[in-house]
Structure 1
């Protein structure tokens, strides 16, 4: 339409447009889109940041609480087991017989005259051997006769046993095996006859030491025959120890069901090493003849608190640990930092307020039990019977997240603490914060650009396009936009119509391609894995028990292929792989993947099979038949080596970008290794496969390989 033929309304509209001095529709739209989008992005980002940061913080704390609870349960169960075992050991017939016989022998020794020179021998031993070693380790001073028993029997036993311990790192084990005082006494006969019971308790039950007391408080027998042997727990040098108190309490009950657990104390006969005991009367329901005291190994406690030093594997990262603290605010287990880096521990302990002498001593003895003080708020709250978490100063002066609780063990007033450095515990929170900020900046930039683009595109005819777009979105691909104008919007309408037609055609192609993709996807992986992949799983893996694995490798194909064209080579390789696939289907074996010169298959992975091992061996033998037929048809001399193993495997998608379904694990590795034990063609199986199929197939021994730290025999199928 020309200017001369324009209607009055049109001319008025043009004059209005020319005379307007405000912002254009495009500018207004741009401002509105930017304002709404930017404000929304900031609000959503802030809400997500606050909620996400709180969730990550709570997750870190919850994990620490869980670890603390698990360790507490393990420690409680272990102490219950120790007390139960001690009660059983003290009530069995061997303990009763030992107690009766040793008590009688000790009483008989008490009536005999003292052998000449025994006192002098004991004085020399303590003055020249034991006390110098004890003073070197404790820094205290002791009298030369402070530990010599008062009784004749006790002096006799120490002269014949204890004085033999000259080397404190070696002679203890010798004395553990030696139960003969070489004196032809009734005591000696009883010790030789029944003393092996104590030896087995130490070696098999895992106790650090074991003592047998009579009803008068005399230590009448000792596994290691140390300075406590022959002394009296009621009147002797160890009368003020916790084991003496536990003995008195246990005997006073006159019940073999009594079990008394002591806290750690420094045990002088053990050269001042921290020791704890479990004491139980010996006898039966009719009478009590004495008491047994079993020394609990310090390693037992440390293995429980440190998870056998497997901190990382158990969720404590690089700095986390679990430790125990007594009512005296001293540790009852070892510090992780001391175990991993003694020099760093000493430096941090001193900087954290620990006396340098204590820190140095902890490093020297390689332990913090009864040395490292812990006076944190977490310990105070736990000692008050409360459980909870806190963030603040730890026992070495650092900043830690701590979960604390009292330890529910009868007879022990301990608390359990789980801690991890705050920096490590909240590292995910810091990472999340950085990610949210970067993402928000990216969103703001993207929104700004998108708003600018949309503002340039949207005009009044957009409503028609929006309506048509909605219809397309609803699935109506036959929609057409009226092309009433000849400007850019007319072109846009024409393009939209073309787009709708194109979408219709493409949708048909997509539907066809989707069906084809579904079929191809199921050829690459099992159906259940394909379903998870289509749902967007980033990492798909499954563990499988009792799966047999076959790894087959072509021998000589490369040499044969050098004389072929690429088309011939791939054709022959496809022929072999089709033969392998047919053999797998016939044997009920699942193909995992194929390589240019190899073939990996499994049985029992997708479909559990009771006879998966037999099927795998059958399949491997059938592969030899496929190779023989190929050689006969093509005049070749290609060989095949196959390895078979069974066990636990893991399957899943490897390398997201290349989409490869694979299988890995010990069974796969061993199948791969056994195939090449001789380098000759054939089917080779592991010892496990041989054991399960030797009644079905004939085997010959092919060699050995190192697996799982042992030498394993490899067998060849005849």
Structure 2
């Protein structure tokens, strides 16, 4: 507590005033912004949840109404006089066919159709091997009808739908000629896949499309275990002829394994059941309802939202939006979520996800146990999403409906609002801070200005003046300060002139660290360095080049080269010891400023001055060249002489660099074996011979820099 109190007392008047204004203002603004953020984002988030819930309820009403309308239509049709008469007449005619002789070759034609048309097509559509003989009709009536109606159509359902009579003398064909237009219109008008009439013994005595299920028995035949057979038995045991029964989707062989759904209703009047009408639902019709016929954006589902159905097996009962809009990305997403690769590929191939895509997710599981709600969770596809779920009240179907939209898209207004609140709060805080700073400066500006000027002078700055804005005590103090500042500036100017002359002289003779030691009073100055790089470079051909030009011009050109060399040395951290003496240059790297990569830097410097000379040649039509020798090792530097001080550099590396340079008369950059070993992985060299020394012959290497030799 004492420490805080001490710090507070040490603050200036302006700081205390500014701190007080900022504290009150910023705390107020932050509290107001926090309240606005919490209330605003909560409201917007709840609004998005409510909107998604409304979308779910709207789609639930649509799909429920769809099935209700289908059920009502089926019930109305089955109560009609025409349907009741058709059921009775088709049943009677079908019974007569059980003892009617088959047309010649009927059995062979039917067997051939199953083995060459139906079986291969079913295998191709399902991707599974098929034994077509298991589906062949076994009754006389079924064989009779399929030979005259199914086989001639050869799988062309439209052709079969428009075939009113086979031209045979049977009573069944006569009945079909009377009722086929009515049921053909019924299936096409309401977009059914088929319409069937089954008698009370389970025989399919009529179908509009005359498929392979014509004449079969759904209680004893190959389709007895299908949902069609199960739902037929429920319809036959109905307590009222007004009842309708809706089956779940199942892969139905006569539809080549396509997911199929049925609506069945007893045919009859006054409690007497004459048969059962089975209407095969269109999967496309269900998908049209769930996708809004592709109008997801117009329905409020944005770019990522959709609604889908799921069954008790936790598989989809409607198509996925992304499967329709971007099947490739859909497959990648569902596979990443755990869907087997073959299942994902199958969905893309058939362009459908019904009974294929697993949706074993939290929303589906909650809805299957009767819960309704909205949550944020990952669904079967895409990133985290807002998901609204609810069970459906469709008699006979244990289905649930899920509406989803990506969280990032759904909550975009929330994020935008939060960002706007944050930016607004920051802007207000900034404005308040600026105003508080402005007011505090206005109140303390004269004293602060004078205090700043005093600190500048104390820090060594000269010529500091403060404006005298008032004739009060502060104004008098400012005037006295200005007089003192002028006096100090005059004296310091004289001292600086003398010091500058001395520094310029020393800088021309030795490096700054050596000059500093000399200025500090040292007399015997020398320093040993264990590992530095030394370069001795000579400019070749300048005497011949400058011989025909005025001395002033040749000096100017030599100065331009020297200045370019100095710039290259500075860029690469190379310190020059002697510059352009006898057209030669002696320099080091790692001496004044220790460097681990001194050898590499020195070679880079040599390469650059070679390029400088090349550019000079191109500009002035000259034939100059550089011959440089580089070595790394120990050197000693220091001041030599008593009366006249000279900065010198000597040692093994200096000697070897000079001898490497002198080892050949050719232009180029030559390095000792020590330098070559240090940078062999960085630069490319070629063998340039050997150099004799005290320890024997030492290899000399030439740097491959693409040097252009003078002609």
Task: Using structure 1 for the length normalisation, give the TM-score.
Answer: 0.59
Q: Which residue of 2 aligns with 1:162?
A: 150
Q: Structure 1 CA distance, aligned partners of 2:291 and 2:404?
A: 12
SS in 1 for 2:428: helix
* Structure 1 segment 528-607 matched on structure 2, within 5 A: none
* Structure 1 segment 45-56 matched on structure 2, within 5 A: 45-56=33-44
Q: Which residue of 2 aligns with 1:99?
A: 87
Match among 277, 293, 304 for residue 292 of structure 1 = 277
How far the C-alpha of 1:23 sits from its partner, in A, is 6.4
C-alpha distance 454-103 of structure 1, shift in aligned 2 (>3 A): same
Task: Write out per-residue CA displacement over residues 514-546 of structure 1, whole angstroms, 9 at most, x where no aligned residue.
Answer: xxxxxxxxxxxxxxxxxxxxxxxxxxxxxxxxx
The answer to which of 370-379 and 442-451 deviates more is 442-451
C-alpha distance 22-208 of structure 1, shift in aligned 2 (>3 A): closer
CA contact (8 A) 1:388 1:404 kept: yes
Q: Structure 2 CA distance, aligned partners of 1:92 and 1:329?
A: 39
SS in 1 for 2:307: strand
* Structure 1 segment 104-503 matched on structure 2, within 5 A: 104-166=92-154, 168=155, 171-253=156-238, 255-285=240-270, 287-396=272-381, 398-453=383-438
CA contact (8 A) 1:68 1:403 kept: yes
How far the C-alpha of 1:303 sits from its partner, in A, is 1.4
Unaligned runs of 5+ in 2: 1-8, 445-470, 472-711
Q: Structure 2 CA distance, aligned partners of 1:310 and 1:397?
A: 20
How far the C-alpha of 1:452 sits from its partner, in A, is 4.2
Unaligned runs of 5+ in 1: 1-19, 460-486, 488-718
How far the C-alpha of 1:431 sits from its partner, in A, is 2.1
CA contact (8 A) 1:98 1:195 kept: no
CA contact (8 A) 1:325 1:331 kept: yes
Q: Structure 1 CA distance, aligned partners of 2:11 and 2:250?
A: 89
Q: Which residue of 2 aligns with 1:43?
A: 31
How far the C-alpha of 1:450 sits from its partner, in A, is 2.7
SS in 2 for 1:78: helix
CA contact (8 A) 2:164 2:180 kept: yes
Q: Which has the larger radius of gyration?
A: 2
* Structure 1 segment 648-663 matched on structure 2, within 5 A: none
Q: Structure 2 CA distance, aligned partners of 1:286 and 1:404?
A: 40
Match among 49, 68, 75 for residue 61 of structure 1 = 49
Q: Structure 2 CA distance, aligned partners of 1:59 and 1:316?
A: 14
Task: Write out per-residue CA displacement over residues 347-377 of structure 1, whole angstroms, 9 at most, x where no aligned residue.
Answer: 1111111011110110111000000011111
Q: Structure 1 CA distance, aligned partners of 2:300 and 2:281?
A: 27
How far the C-alpha of 1:458 sits from its partner, in A, is 9.7
Q: Structure 2 CA distance, aligned partners of 1:286 and 1:395?
A: 47
How far the C-alpha of 1:457 sits from its partner, in A, is 8.2
CA contact (8 A) 2:213 2:254 kept: yes
C-alpha distance 156-46 of structure 1, shift in aligned 2 (>3 A): same
How far the C-alpha of 1:449 sits from its partner, in A, is 2.4
SS in 2 for 1:373: coil
- What RMSD over aligned residues (CA atoms) do the two structures have, in Å? 2.2
CA contact (8 A) 2:309 2:402 kept: yes
Q: Structure 2 CA distance, aligned partners of 1:254 and 1:189?
A: 33
C-alpha distance 458-97 of structure 1, shift in aligned 2 (>3 A): farther
Q: Structure 2 CA distance, aligned partners of 1:174 and 1:454?
A: 92
Q: Structure 2 CA distance, aligned partners of 1:345 and 1:181?
A: 47
State whether structure 2 residue 58 is matched by structure 1 residue 70.
yes
The answer to which of 405-414 and 30-39 deviates more is 30-39
How far the C-alpha of 1:224 sits from its partner, in A, is 0.6
CA contact (8 A) 1:149 1:232 kept: no
SS in 1 for 2:293: coil
Q: Structure 1 CA distance, aligned partners of 2:306 and 2:382?
A: 15
CA contact (8 A) 2:241 2:271 kept: no
SS in 2 for 1:255: coil
How far the C-alpha of 1:54 sits from its partner, in A, is 2.0
SS in 1 for 2:264: strand
How far the C-alpha of 1:435 sits from its partner, in A, is 2.0
CA contact (8 A) 2:118 2:132 kept: no
How far the C-alpha of 1:163 sits from its partner, in A, is 1.0
Task: Write out per-residue CA displacement over residues 596-637 of structure 1, whole angstroms, 9 at most, x where no aligned residue.
Answer: xxxxxxxxxxxxxxxxxxxxxxxxxxxxxxxxxxxxxxxxxx
How far the C-alpha of 1:111 sits from its partner, in A, is 2.1
CA contact (8 A) 2:386 2:407 kept: yes
Q: Structure 2 CA distance, aligned partners of 1:146 and 1:22?
A: 99
Q: Structure 2 CA distance, aligned partners of 1:22 and 1:256?
A: 95
Task: Write out per-residue CA displacement over residues 552-594 of structure 1, whole angstroms, 9 at most, x where no aligned residue.
Answer: xxxxxxxxxxxxxxxxxxxxxxxxxxxxxxxxxxxxxxxxxxx
The answer to which of 115-124 and 247-256 deviates more is 247-256
CA contact (8 A) 1:351 1:397 kept: no
CA contact (8 A) 1:220 1:229 kept: yes
Q: Which residue of 1 aligns with 2:68?
A: 80
SS in 2 for 1:313: coil
SS in 2 for 1:283: strand
